[in-house]
Amino acid sequence: MLQCLDENIWVAEQPQKYFGLSIGTRMTVIRDQESCRLIVISPIKPTLDLDEELSELGVVSDLVAPNSYHHLYCNEFKHRYPQAKLWGSSALKRKCPDLLIDNLLMPAGPSPWAGIQICSLSGLKTMGPLGPSPLNEFAFCHVPSKTIVLTDSAFNFDYTFPWLTRFTTRIAGGYNRLEPTILERIASSDKDSLRKSIQEVLSWNFDRVIVAHGAVVEFGGKAMLTSAYSAFLGGTVGSV
Ligand SMILES: [Fe+2]
């Protein structure tokens, strides 16, 4: 179930639908080299097989809800790993008071984890049934493997997805290209804030991009993300 992408970083996937569309979802596991602590970003539904694989890698110490939508399995995970600290934004805590959040992800200040950079993507929204909805998303960079972890700020669907997903994302964006969809483009009106956030992400030293929905970009991710957000926000965002 867990796929190793590089030293101390793994992903695991599961099927997921959003308004009837098969988009899948992906969890990222980062291991601290020194302590063998495992940081689980965007947890998927836990299973016995997943438990076993995680136990072979280290001790689950941190669970991270990276935005206001990717929290569905956090409590289930937390019940299985009660010693682990659940992290989420203050907005998520207000939205889902039943979530067992231990620690808040802060929009500014140092990263809580060694070897992992973190950035709040302020200004990023998606269009929901009731209108624009803040994603309150955080991006992460695993410095040793030059890998960033994005959740709903960029997508990269490919031929492995069902035809309806391919058809829809060819039109809406995010098919065979690392980019936000039209839902984020029309909902994110505070482009200045978003530009500032993306500039910070693009200042990181990375090549690989893990997305929650679509295929992992193994090489050239920084150039792709620069291109996508330059097209979205106008002008050139960041430098490659
Ligand atoms: Fe998502």
pLDDT digits (tens, 9 = 90+) for 8-56: 999 999 999 998 999 999 999 999 999 999 999 999 999 999 999 999 9
Cα 165 from Cα 169, distance rounded (Å): 6
pLDDT digits (tens, 9 = 90+) for 201-229: 999 999 999 999 999 999 999 999 999 99
Name which CATH class applies to 3-233.
Answer: alpha beta
Cα 163 from Cα 171, distance rounded (Å): 13
Q: Domain extents for the chain?
A: 3-233
| Ligand 1 centroid from CA 159, angstroms | 19
| Ligand 1 centroid from CA 34, angstroms | 31
| Ligand 1 centroid from CA 227, angstroms | 21
What DSSP character marks residue 157? Answer: B
Residue where the block lists tokens 């969809």: 181
Cα 139 from Cα 116, distance rounded (Å): 10
| Ligand 1 centroid from CA 152, angstroms | 5
Average pLDDT, the chain: 96
User: What is the reported pLDDT for 239?
Assistant: 62
| Ligand 1 centroid from CA 19, angstroms | 12
Query: In percent, how much of the chain has pLDDT > 70?
Result: 99
